Amino acid sequence: MTVVQVCNRYVRKCKRRNIFRRLLSISNAGDFRRLINLLDSSIGDMRWLLRIFDYEGSRGGILSLPPIASDDPILAWVWSFIATIYMAELPEIIEAVNEIAALVQDNDRNKKIFVEEGGVTPLLKMIKDRTTTEAQIAAMRALYMLCNNEERVRVVVNESGIEIVVQILVLLVSPIRAQIQAAKLVARMAEHDPIAREEFGRENAIRPLMNYLALDMFGTGRIDYSNRPGNSGKEKENASPELKMELKFACSEAVRMLARGSVSNGRMISESYGLSYLAKLVEKEHGELQVNCLMTIMEIAVVAEFDTDLRRAAFKTSSPDAKAVVDQLLRLIESSDNPALQIPAIKAIGSLARTFPAKEIRIISPLVAQLENGNQDVAAEATISLQKFASPDNFLHAEHSKTIVGFGAIPTLIRLLRNNPRIRFHGSVLLCYLALHVCDHKALEKARVLTALQGAEHTLVAQHPELRELLSQAIYQLTLYHTWNNSYRQSYVGLDG
């Protein structure tokens, strides 16, 4: 019940002339004291609200508390900051936005309050109006702080924020510092919301991001500025190396997040030399920029694993760009000692297992070698990737299985099965696939794979019941072959005698 409604109720009580009705609805002094307190609080709220509108007398916002927000001071600050953004002069607006960024930086409750109170709309308006670069950057930084979960990102999407942010990346009038912050915001939103990820793709955010990522790589010949008016590459070319690197890093992170789990975005990135750019950056760059470019390749490969059209279009073996990517992946697997580079490279190769022909044995050799890597995560990823080559889902599983066994994977897998619990599941699956596809290979008999699987069957099935059928099939196949092989040998010895 509002204060006005309470007041009206008491007025109606006091106006009654019938003595009997007054006695039945009598109000004591305490009721009137509570009513006076409510009126005082309402007057205080109105005075505070009037001070909010009086920016001549109170620049920089009001930090005092109205009675309505006495139990939650953050609410009053948020209202004051939002009012400042709408009505104050530019310096006060920028200061208020910076205060908002500080207020919500590490506090999800403050972020929730700010969004619920309608704070996203004025921030987007600041970006769209492009009054000053400083104002745009401040607004995008505040949005970056806010957009750390799907619900809040969706609010920005519903307020047409995607189109506004993309315009900063596209337009000539956007300075490089604003584009850096825009790329960071794209990465943040794409990371937390798949809808935002797809919307950025539809708004053509990928093209300018890839253009900036390829800055200084091939000169200007292969970089497409057709979607921007004027000579928009000039400022980028004249920027300091540090600023260029910051822009490239921000764009690499944005492209990586846009590629995650999105077939359409993966297709857009791979078109127009996108894979070639990424392969070149993986080869030439170091640190986080190299990691982001590698992770982008991995994300595209992961979605291509389950999308035949994308896999054939982006990673066709006859494509120079696809070959450049695979060469860089193999180089990192073989020569790098950094798990942060080896693991995504191995995962990407595994995701593309159905792409490689049987004659491409150079792909499998480094994966088998990594089974003996001292880092368990690297060895586990190598096992998973080899499993995809030997899986029955792979049309060339028999040929790939022979190649895996030929490179000496069996003894290592037996050792991992016994000594490495973290790799035991995937190692067992791979060993079963090899037993099913190349049971007649001498390496399996020499390593006593049948004995190893029989010995581990009880423990493996207890831990992973889903392995029961696969283990039974592998053991049956090996037993059948050994029985036939022993009978053949005995028959051969008998004939010889």
Query: Which pLDDT score is estimated for 374?
Result: 86
What the block records as the tokens of 151 is 């619900």
**Domain segments of the chain: what residues?**
356-497
Q: Where are the alpha helices (DSSP H) in 25-107?
A: 29-53, 73-87, 90-104
CA distance 15 to 7: 12
* Residue 220 β-bridge partners: 218
What is the CA angle 217-221-226, rounded to 5?
A: 110
Return the closest-CA partner of residue 100 out of 126, 132, 77: 77
pLDDT in tens, 468-483: 888 888 888 888 876 7
CA distance 80 to 78: 5
Report residues of the chain scoring pLDDT below 70. Answer: 1-32, 35-72, 172-173, 217-237, 482, 484-497
CA distance 213 to 221: 14
CA distance 489 to 497: 12
Query: Which pLDDT score is estimated for 418?
Result: 81
Q: 218 in helix, strand or coil?
A: strand
Query: Which pLDDT score is estimated for 18?
Result: 56
Side-chain half-sphere exposure of 158, counting CA atoms within 13 A: 9
Return the closest-CA partner of residue 384 out of 343, 418, 436: 343
Q: Which CATH number fits domain 356-497: 3.40.50.720, 3.40.630.30, 3.40.50.11540, 1.25.10.10?
A: 1.25.10.10
CA distance 374 to 298: 23
Query: Which pLDDT score is estimated for 455?
Result: 77
What is the CA angle 274-280-284, rounded to 5?
A: 145
Give the alpha-carbon dihedral of 282, 262, 391, 467, to 10 degrees. Answer: 120
Length of the chain: 497
Query: Which pLDDT score is estimated for 227?
Result: 45
If phi over 0 gives left and psi between -120 and 50 gives alpha, with beta otherwise, what is residue 307? Answer: beta
Query: Which pLDDT score is estimated for 265?
Result: 95
What is the CA angle 239-242-243, rounded to 5?
A: 45
Residue 218: how many CB atoms within 10 A of its CB?
13
227-232, Cβ contacts within 8 angstroms, sequence gap of 24 or more: 227/170, 228/170, 228/171, 228/172, 229/171, 229/172, 230/172, 231/172, 232/171, 232/172
Q: What are phi and psi of 41, to 5 degrees?
A: -65, -40
CA 209 to chain centre: 16
Q: 17 in helix, strand or coil?
A: coil
Side-chain half-sphere exposure of 403, counting CA atoms within 13 A: 23
Q: 220 in helix, strand or coil?
A: strand
Query: Which pLDDT score is estimated for 64?
Result: 58
CA distance 197 to 203: 10
Which residue shows structure tokens 């745009």? 136
pTM of the model: 0.83
What is the CA angle 73-77-79, rounded to 5?
A: 115
CA distance 55 to 92: 10
Q: Is 476 within 8 Å of 457 (Cβ atoms)?
A: no
CA distance 171 to 169: 6
